[in-house]
């Protein structure tokens, strides 16, 4: 039994959480994507799974009422946060007011999962961007509902499709629920990241990996890096040979497949949530394009874009901003934000190499497929960066020679 068309399934787990008989499980398909599978021997055809699926429900979307450029003033905190650290700021505020925060973190096996915390010190594990699908789990939405029914303030931070899954599961709005969606480029299946990390671990003899990061906090340094629990970078290694020859660029298959749109889930190429109207109370992400069309008197990197999409979201964010010290919050025109982020206008385009990637992935698996289709792309990028580096390096002596010859 198909709960929704397979090519539209986001893997949000709403159907799994809704099934009272536990006869739905999420299983990998031939491409490694998670999809629901129904045990029809135990199914009673109650229809809860289908009516909880966001693809079968008319969802409410709202055009943002306010748009802000925001960042926390503490530079050290922002170093390991995504953008301006506003997600962390809201999370700390909710916990200080006796609430619960749901978001993504890595478990002991380095699998990204959706879970919750009630402690500020545990928020460290939820920080940073994750360019991969986080597994919601069989009872996460149920836990949200339990906290809400007990009168707890709940902040739920996830991708738009995860927020939609929670809303259709709950079937009603709660005054004590604040939903925050992340401006989403798309996601790669969890399996791809785990296989890539396993490959790098074996190739470079890495041990004790405790964190996976996808970017530096300069906003442009998109790169897969692996760290231990002492925050020491394990990959790429910081030695002269790797830096000079840019060997790290030649090993960025996962992140390059994600950024180019080669290896994302099928549903991401026709995403229902990639539009100006939003499904959540608040939307956060990088403020790409800040200052390009409208003057901005502050540094433009490490800045979050924040839009309040509902009255509840606006009241919560305004109150949080007023009560939070060391937070800069500047109102901007939403049109400025829309100009420079395709994911707020339409789904990310499928790369021409996606068809070959899918074919090879079905035949030989993810690692063979991604390393085959992106090999030439990454080598060209490595050579280009290497040549640019040496061109810059030799520019100074060439200029000195020209100056000397002129004087003669």
At 119 the three-state DSSP class reads: coil
Angstrom CA distances, 403 to 93, 171, 393, stand at 60, 75, 17
- Phi and psi (nearest 5°) for 173? -90, 145
190-203 and 366-373 helices, crossing angle to 10° = 80
Tell the burial category of 223 from Cβ atoms under 10 Å away from its Cβ (0-12, 13-18, 19+): middle
Instruction: Render each residue's pLDDT in the chain as its tens digit; 408 residues.
Output: 899 999 999 999 999 999 999 999 999 999 999 999 999 999 999 999 999 999 999 999 999 999 999 999 887 777 667 788 999 999 999 999 999 999 999 999 999 999 999 999 999 999 888 999 999 999 999 999 999 999 999 999 999 999 999 999 999 999 999 999 999 999 999 999 999 999 999 988 989 999 998 876 544 467 888 888 887 878 877 665 555 555 566 688 999 999 999 999 999 999 999 999 999 999 999 999 999 989 998 888 889 999 999 999 999 999 999 999 889 999 999 999 998 878 899 999 999 999 999 999 999 999 999 999 999 998 888 777 767 666 655 555 555 556 655 554
Length of the chain measured in residues: 408
Q: Which fold has domain 6-56?
A: Alpha-Beta Plaits (3.30.70)
Strands (E), 47-161: 66-72, 100-106, 112-117, 154-158
CB 359 within 8 A of CB 95: no
What residues does each domain of the chain span? 6-56, 60-408
Show the 3-state SS of 165-177: HHHHHHCCCCCCE
Q: Tell me which residue of 281, 95, 51, 101 sits closest to 175, measured CA to CA.
A: 281
253-279: burial string, b at 16+ Cβ within 10 Å, e else: bbbbbbbbbbbbbbbbbebbbbbeebb
CB 170 within 8 A of CB 164: no
Dist. CA 87–CA 282, nearest whole Å: 10
Classify residue 45 by its DSSP letter.
Answer: -
At 403 the three-state DSSP class reads: helix
- DSSP codes of every residue in 261-317: TSSS-GGGGG-TT-SSSBSSSEEEEE-TTTTTSS--SS--SS-EEEEE-SHHHHHHH
Tokens of 46: 């109650």
The owner of tokens 């909880």 is: 52
Give residue 233's pLDDT: 79
Give residue 218's pLDDT: 47
Q: Tell me which residue of 147, 104, 139 sits closest to 18, measured CA to CA.
A: 139
CB 179 within 8 A of CB 166: yes
160-170 and 140-149 helices, crossing angle to 10° = 60
Give residue 244's pLDDT: 52
CB 277 within 8 A of CB 296: no
């Amino acid at each position: 039994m198909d709960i929704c068309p397979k090519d539209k399934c986001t893997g949000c787990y709403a159907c799994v959480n809704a099934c009272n008989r536990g006869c739905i499980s999420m299983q990998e398909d031939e491409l490694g994507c998670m999809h629901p599978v129904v045990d029809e021997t135990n199914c009673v055809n109650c229809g809860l799974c289908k009516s909880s699926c966001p693809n079968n429900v008319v969802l409410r979307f709202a055009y943002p009422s306010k748009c802000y450029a925001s960042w926390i003033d503490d530079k050290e905190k922002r170093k390991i946060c995504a953008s301006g650290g506003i997600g962390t700021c809201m999370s700390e505020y909710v916990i200080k007011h006796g609430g619960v925060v749901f978001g993504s973190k890595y478990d002991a096996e380095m699998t990204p999962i959706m879970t919750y915390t009630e402690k500020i010190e545990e928020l460290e594990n939820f920080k940073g961007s994750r360019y991969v699908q986080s597994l919601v789990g069989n009872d996460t939405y149920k836990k949200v509902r339990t906290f809400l029914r007990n009168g707890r303030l709940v902040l739920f931070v996830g991708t738009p499709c995860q927020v939609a899954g929670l809303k259709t599961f709950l079937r009603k709005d709660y005054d004590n629920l604040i939903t925050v969606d992340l401006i989403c480029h798309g996601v790669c299946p969890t399996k791809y990241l785990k296989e890539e990390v396993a490959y790098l671990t074996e190739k470079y003899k890495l041990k004790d990996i405790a964190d996976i990061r996808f970017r530096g906090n300069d906003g442009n340094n998109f790169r897969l890096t692996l760290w231990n629990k002492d925050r020491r970078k394990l990959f790429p290694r910081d030695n002269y040979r790797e830096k000079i020859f840019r060997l790290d660029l030649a090993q960025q298959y996962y992140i390059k497949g994600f950024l180019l749109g080669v290896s994302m889930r099928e549903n991401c190429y026709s995403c229902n949530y990639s539009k100006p109207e939003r499904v959540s109370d608040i939307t956060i992400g990088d403020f790409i394009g800040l200052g390009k069309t409208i003057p901005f008197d502050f540094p433009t990197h490490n800045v979050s874009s924040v839009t309040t999409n509902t009255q509840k979201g606006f009241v919560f964010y305004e109150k949080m901003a007023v009560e939070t010290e060391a937070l800069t919050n500047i109102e901007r025109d939403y049109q400025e934000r829309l100009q420079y982020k395709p994911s707020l206008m339409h789904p990310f385009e499928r790369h021409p190499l996606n068809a070959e990637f899918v074919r090879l992935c079905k035949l030989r698996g993810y690692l063979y497929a991604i390393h085959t289709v992106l090999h030439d792309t990454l080598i060209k990028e490595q050579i280009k960066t290497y040549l640019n580096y040496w061109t810059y390096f030799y520019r100074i002596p060439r200029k000195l020679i020209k100056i000397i010859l002129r004087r003669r």
